[in-house]
Amino acid sequence: MGSTVPGGYAGKILRVDLSTERIWTEELTPEVCRTYVGGAGLGAKILWEEVPPEVGWDHPDNRLIMATGPFAGLPIWGTGGLTVVTRGAMTNGATNTQANGFFGANLKHSGYDAIVIQGRASRWVYLYIYDDTVELRDATPLLGKDTWETQQALEQLLHLSGHQLSVYSSGVAGENQVRFAAIAGDYGHVASKNGCGAVMGNKRLKAVAIVRGTKGLRVADPRGLMLAAEEIADDLKYDPSTRSLYEYGTLPGVMNLLRLGALPIKNYTTNVAPPGVDLDKWTAPGLRNGFPHRGYQCNACGMHHCHTQVLPAGPHQGELVDEPEYEGWSAGWAMGCTDPVAVAWLNTQIDRACVDVNEFGWLAGWVMECQEKGYITKEQLGGLELRWGDVEAANRLLQMIIRREGFGDLLAEGVKRAAERLGGPAAECAIYTLVGNTPRGHDHRARWEELLDTCTGSSGTLDSGPPVRHTEWGLPARFSTFDPEAVARVVGVTRGRRHFEDSLGACIFTTRTYMATLCRALNAVTGWDFTKEEAMRCGRRTAALLRAFNVRCGITPDLERPSKRYGSVPVDGPAKGQDISKHWEHMLDVWYETVGYDRRTGKPLPATLRELGLEHLIPALWGSEEAAHARR
């Protein structure tokens, strides 16, 4: 461990060039630690500096950055965090996506804060890491295996089990460079956004396998860390706003969003549950207790969140599955399936295939609607009939997609490209942003803040996410999701909080506390004197870097809008008649003013870059335009 880096850091970045099979390390400096923290911040810095605009997502010189942060491996709940930063396949712009489990802790205990992968291997390989032993090994025997099978094969090969070995791979979808392929590991933890798995597959990297290392971790104030960790845990357990998350994870989201009209049902064609659905099965206790289950928590976590289930009925009775997150349940509703057992089974097939569950939900729901209306025929699908709620047919579609078989080759390009290729009324049914970002598993027509956030995001999905403790920033405790001015202001003011959390190496569900509390924990780990204002500035710095990268890649403000169906008016339910389209331009105006970006070009303004300590970006972004802009 380097003696000059703050507590919580290993002090080394692991570098791997797949083209030459060269492996080396470089030091992580105290200045970089303080400025970018880790995870998303460190990844954004490397992406900007090392991936020029001519290096597309599938270019060998694209970087695949797998990073963690100063909390990883420490006794704060949920500190196994992995952040993946790359230029992604869906938008050909920046990706910042997270998974939990044990990757971050294992990486830190082997002595590294991040892995930066470049080049393209001449053969299929996997990366093996155990302390100072880092090797590229032949992955030929792993080809064709899904994510669970890959982990099981490596556990058997290496004679390791449980949390001794963390394996993250891109499945069959990554091998075939499906645009929305993910990177998944530890049996159900997924870095899912913007086709990061397609990047991994393009590099012919089947998996990264990290043995839990033997290197110890140092913190500046052990007692202060334990006190802060206990305060965070108490907030999660006892605060009314987070207690249900502590008890059930994201399961309450199904009924909560159904009541708000924000649960996506049958590809946004309705917001009302079909008659005869037993909604008691969809409550959080119903979803948890409707299956034999056991906890499968992430590193150092006390949340009653991740579980493994046994299917109690149906054609796959007795099979072991991972309990879906809210996003997995909502993908089932987007396809018109209201049977929890069927959705749980399909969710695991999606994870094992290694695609983004949100994108697959929109894709399958779209194909179901298009087939019902005659826009896509049975013959186009090779004889497959895809009716609402049929998860067995949806799985057959999934297998076609991940192998790029027949019509699955087009669908493997994702909803946006497939819809644009088909055109006509089929395109009008599709849910996507014009940039190519994948909406989360909500009906954002009833959550305007998330629709705006998704369309303006620079990470391939939501950037700010649902506001957490937003009264810390002088915002009202409550605001109407249909108030365009308030929505745009809230999304703009809270921009940066999520990026800071994503830099810590911890799960965002275990950092849902006051920013001041997170800073106390960070200071106990590092010996710093971070304030919540500095933390937000750090997050906004990361957001500006990702935005600058996207602008440099040619992603412009004219693309920041929803597809026709995504931005349509709900026809029923609590949000019936609410039309965001007539407010859209004004909301963008308010958002741009709030975040300090230029409305015409999308660039962070020179004054904003200076405020964030990013003066060095000004020549690349503005050049001679800077003086002209100052006169306007």
The three-state (H, E, C) secondary structure of 504-529, written as one string: CCCCCCCCCCCHHHHHHHHHHHHCCC
Q: 120-144 pLDDT, tens per residue?
A: 999 999 999 999 999 999 999 999 9
What values do phi and psi take at 563, rounded to 5? Answer: -65, 170
Shortest CA distance to 281 belongs to which of 256, 304, 263, 254? 254
Do residues 514 and 536 make contact, with C-beta atoms less than 8 angstroms apart? no
Cα(235)–Cα(517) distance, integer angstroms: 10
Its sign, for the CA torsion 624, 626, 627, 632, is positive
Measured from the Cβ of residue 339, the count of other Cβ atoms closer than 10 Å reads: 17
H or E segment to which residue 310 belongs: strand 307-310
Which ranges of the chain have pLDDT less than 50? 1-2, 631-632
- Residue 185 in tokens: 């590991």
Query: How big is the CA angle at 578 (ends 572 and 584), to the nearest 5 degrees?
Result: 145
Cα(455)–Cα(167) distance, integer angstroms: 32
Measured from the Cβ of residue 310, the count of other Cβ atoms closer than 10 Å reads: 14
- Residue 423 in tokens: 């055109």
Q: What is the DSSP string of 230-285?
A: HHHHHHHHH-TTTHHHHHHTTTTHHHHHHHHT-S-BTTTTBSSPPTT--GGGGSHH
* All domains of the chain in start order, with CATH: 12-211 (3.60.9.10), 249-428 (1.10.569.10), 444-495+531-631 (1.10.599.10)
For 451-594, strand residue ranges (E) read none
HEC string of 31-58 equals: HHHHHHCCHHHHHHHHHHHHCCCCCCCC
Cα(98)–Cα(142) distance, integer angstroms: 24
Residue type, 629: H
Give the predicted TM-score (pTM) of the model.
0.97
Q: 594-620 pLDDT, tens per residue?
A: 999 999 999 999 999 999 999 999 999
Cα(201)–Cα(124) distance, integer angstroms: 9
Shortest CA distance to 208 belongs to which of 325, 314, 75, 99? 99
Beta partners for residue 391, in sequence order? none
Cα(591)–Cα(422) distance, integer angstroms: 33
Shortest CA distance to 171 belongs to which of 141, 129, 143? 143
Which residue carries 């810095």 as its tokens?
45
Please give the torsion angle defined by the CA atoms of residues 173, 176, 177 and 182, in that order, rounded to the nearest 10 degrees: 10
Shortest CA distance to 42 belongs to which of 19, 10, 1, 17? 10
Do residues 126 and 142 make contact, with C-beta atoms less than 8 angstroms apart? yes
Cα(359)–Cα(345) distance, integer angstroms: 17
Confidence at residue 162, expressed as pLDDT on a 0 to 100 scale: 84
Which residue carries 């399909």 as its tokens?
346
H or E segment to which residue 86 belongs: strand 82-87
Residue type, 571: V
Residues 6+ apart with CB under 8 A from 406: 381, 382, 400
SS3 state of residue 485:
helix
Kindly provide the b/e burial profile for residues 370-396, where b requires at least 16 CB atoms within 10 angstroms of the residue's own CB: bbbeebbeeebbeebebebbbbebbbb
SS3 state of residue 531:
coil
Shortest CA distance to 613 belongs to which of 507, 508, 537? 537
Cα(449)–Cα(468) distance, integer angstroms: 13
